[in-house]
């Protein structure tokens, strides 16, 4: 690794540690052509944007991942769910969860290939991709209450099924 990239990595890791220590978790957003690694031009993202938590694994809970939402919406949703976890709630795969003060619902699904997606979380916990931290995908419903596996769902294309996405 060249010195410029190593210096960037050291600073990014220090910032990540500070954020998790201060707030208990942080949100990593990926997509939209943004990349701040030295020499990166944005990479020509072709998949949906996604965001995931870093820090929940340290609380004994899988990290959370969401696809197809804007950075503000991802932060709002993941912070809301992470706050519930920090308050002692154990969010379980397969259960429909109502989102506070909205009609939106989500379901958590186990991600079989987290090492292909949550690179920053694995770097934070010093885990290799084949020994990744566990991850639950937060799958959300459309305006008619349909999930991606329901016929006629209008948000299925921006939410890849667990295991079908590699970041």
pLDDT value of residue 103: 77
Span 128-155, average pLDDT? 95
Question: Where is mean pLDDT largest: 1-5, 14-18, 60-64, 96-100?
Answer: 60-64
**42 Ramachandran zone, left/alpha/beta (phi>0; psi -120 to 50):** left
Kind plus residue range of the DSSP H or E element containing 15: helix 3-23
Give yes or no for residue 18 having a pLDDT over 60: yes
Give yes or no for residue 128 having a pLDDT over 90: yes
Give yes or no for residue 50 having a pLDDT over 60: yes
Q: Determine the Cα–Cα distance for residues 145 and 133; give it in Å rounded to an integer.
A: 30
Cβ–Cβ under 8 Å, residues 137 and 20? no
């Amino acid at each position: 690794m060249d010195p410029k990239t190593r210096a960037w990595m050291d600073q990014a890791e220090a910032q990540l540690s500070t954020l998790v220590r201060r707030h208990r978790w942080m949100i990593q957003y990926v997509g939209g052509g943004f990349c701040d690694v030295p020499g990166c031009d944005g990479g020509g993202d072709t998949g949906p944007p996604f965001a995931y938590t870093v820090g929940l694994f340290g609380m004994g809970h899988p990290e959370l991942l969401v696809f197809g939402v804007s950075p503000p919406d991802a932060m709002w949703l993941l912070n809301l769910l992470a706050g519930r976890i920090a308050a002692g709630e154990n969010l379980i795969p397969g259960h429909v969860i109502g989102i506070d003060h909205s009609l939106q619902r989500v379901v958590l699904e186990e991600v079989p290939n987290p090492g292909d997606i949550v690179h920053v979380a694995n770097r934070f916990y010093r885990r290799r991709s084949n020994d990744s931290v566990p991850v639950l995908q937060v799958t959300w419903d459309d305006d008619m209450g349909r999930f991606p596996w329901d016929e006629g769902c209008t948000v299925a294309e921006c939410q890849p099924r667990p295991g079908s996405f590699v970041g």
